[in-house]
Chains A and B, each alone.
Chain A
Amino acid sequence: MMNDTIFTKQRLIKLSLIITAIWFTWFAQVTFDDYTVRIINNVCIFIILAVSYNLINGVTGQLSLEPNGFVAVGAYVTAILTLDADTMLYQFYLEDPSEWVLALQADFAWALLFSGIISALLALTLSFPVFRVRGDYLAIVTLGFGFIIKILAINNPQITNGSLGLNDIPEFSNLYWTGGIAIFAVVAILNVIYSKYGRAMKAVRDDEDAATAMGVNTFKTKTLAFSTSAFFEGVGGGLLAALLTSISPDLFTFLLTFQLLIIIILGGLGSTTGAILGTIFVMAGLEWMRFLDEPMNIFGFQTEGTPGMRMVVFSLILIIVMLFAREGLMGKKELFDLKIFKRKKGSK
């Protein structure tokens, strides 16, 4: 069959990419300084978030504004499960923590898994009312969901310590965790995309009626995509909590979703490798452009430091990208879909 050769060559490229990523994770953790490792940690977590967000928003084409809600859920679940009773009692000023909150304890790995599962279950519950009808209801419902989570976190001080947030969360996150899970998330989501489920998701994005007419259960397809992305966002939230060591309801505002939206649009809606490139570009770019906030000497003119200058420049770059490369860096294509990786064809 003509496809088999492409298949194996592509698989080889993917395998070498995975090995490079694993090697880089290890290499970065041992050699780089704390500051760089922290940035890479952040990038890895955002890769998890962006890639999973892209699954529902880009691949399945359902405009959704959910990440901040599920990241918050994941962060709180992991924080509550990993904080021990003494540390909790010490920092709960507003109200004493509930008995069951104190009793809940788990290893970091289990805490992350629970974060993911609880997020996914919440997504599943949201799916039933939302995906029964067509249209952009998902965007409205998920936007509201983010606010509800925030308000619940503020108004249940016996569980979440209210607006003071949870502090002194054990700092479990390192590159082995963040990098490892990022690699797993990317591979798992790519595996989904390149299966019948991923094809069905793309079909739903392209033409929902035609997908139904081909026997695709569009409700199930959308629910799977939404729950999967919620799962990985929950896990990402858990990693974020264990990286920052302190979380509060204000951390997970709509701005987080907005930043992820920028990342996946910049990388190309619907492209997983695009989402990865977008994350690296945005996160590293924001770090690198810090010099714009500082006083500068431009051709003899001394300028004062303007905090927020890098955001202005960044927005300009975004506008330029949207004007000249509307599909983002990768469009809907993946890195390994590019012509250079494929077997040469006769013409065209």
Chain B
Amino acid sequence: MILEVCNVTKKFGGVTAIKDTSFHVNSKEIYGLIGPNGAGKTTMFNIITGNYEPTQGLIKFHGQTLNGIKPHKIVHRGIARTFQNIRLFNSMTVLDNVLIGFDYQASYSYLEAMLRFPRFFLEERRIRKRAFEIMEVLGIAEFADEMATSLSYGQQRKVEIARALAAAPQLLLLDEPAAGMNPQETHELAELFFKIRDEFDVTILLIEHDMKFVNKLCDRVMVLDYGKTIFEGDIKDAIKDEEVIKAYLGDFKHA
């Protein structure tokens, strides 16, 4: 068990975004967090990454509590994320974007960088090599020197994933990675995620709307609706579950 979310509640003023939600993610699993818009999925991500403090409940990573730890420190512990709307560093090249992920792993001091000590060159060479390896796997190595903004939407997504992988995570949080992609691209993306899981040894927790995509990819899912858990378990049971269908398609009986 890599991640445990125990009885988490998050309130914004009077609005309860997440209500008493618990789930756990096993190691090397691809876990799906699904539900209609406004169900609290992204809020869940923000709680796991430390951007929001939960009103109640605990987040445990490898058995250690993450509550109260600063977001960047949580990244150092091994949780990296992507954003729903792509958030790349627009003034930087693709390579520099990916290198940001290595920020805490390159061990040279400020003075060593300023005066160009040998360790600077050693470390830079090491992380650059590693960055190219990651970009190679994702198929974006050829764009290394392009500006991140000049790439197509799909490639920008890949840059964002590469950037997250550069932070050497054990748990990768993907916020709607297939949004805005056509069926062909979605299919390729699913294959890519299997490849990423195997090559980088990561556990993937993802938010998605595309049920076909989730069905293909995820081992287990949790379905949220208005902050409440309405289903947790195997994906095959989820698509047959009455409540899930109701949340997604509406209640036929009363329609």
Give me the interface of A with B, judged by CB distance under 8 Å: 1-3, 6, 188, 191-192, 195-200, 202-203, 205-207, 209-218, 224, 270, 332
Contact = CB atoms under 8 A, between A and B. Distances in A.
A270 B91 contact: yes
A218 B90 CA distance: 17
A196 B106 contact: yes
Contact of B91 (A3, A205, A212, A215): A205
Contacts of B102: 196
A27 B229 CA distance: 76
Contacts of B80: 213-215
B96 interface: yes
Given A191-B115, A213-B80, A218-B72, A199 B99 contact: yes
A323 to B, nearest CB: 22
B103 A210 contact: no
Nearest to B82: A213
Contacts of B116: 191
Interface residues of B, number: 42
A215 B83 contact: no
B87 A212 contact: no
A271 to B, nearest CB: 11
Contacts of A1: 128-129, 132
A214 B103 contact: yes
B100 A216 contact: yes
A211 B71 contact: no
Interface in B133-185: 144-145, 163-164, 166-167
A215 B76 CA distance: 6
A195 B96 CA distance: 10
Given A202-B89, A205-B91, A211 B110 contact: no
Chain A, interface SS category: helix
Nearest to B116: A191
B100 A197 contact: no
A191 B80 CA distance: 28
A188 B129 CA distance: 25
A3 B113 CA distance: 19
A28 B83 CA distance: 54
Given A196-B113, A200-B100, A214 B75 contact: yes
Nearest to A207: B87
B159 to A, nearest CB: 12
Contacts of B110: 192, 197, 224
A216 B103 contact: yes
11 contacts: A192-B114, A196-B99, A196-B103, A196-B113, A196-B127, A197-B113, A199-B99, A211-B100, A213-B80, A215-B75, A215-B80
B68 to A, nearest CB: 16
A203 B100 contact: yes
A50 to B, nearest CB: 18
A276 B120 CA distance: 26
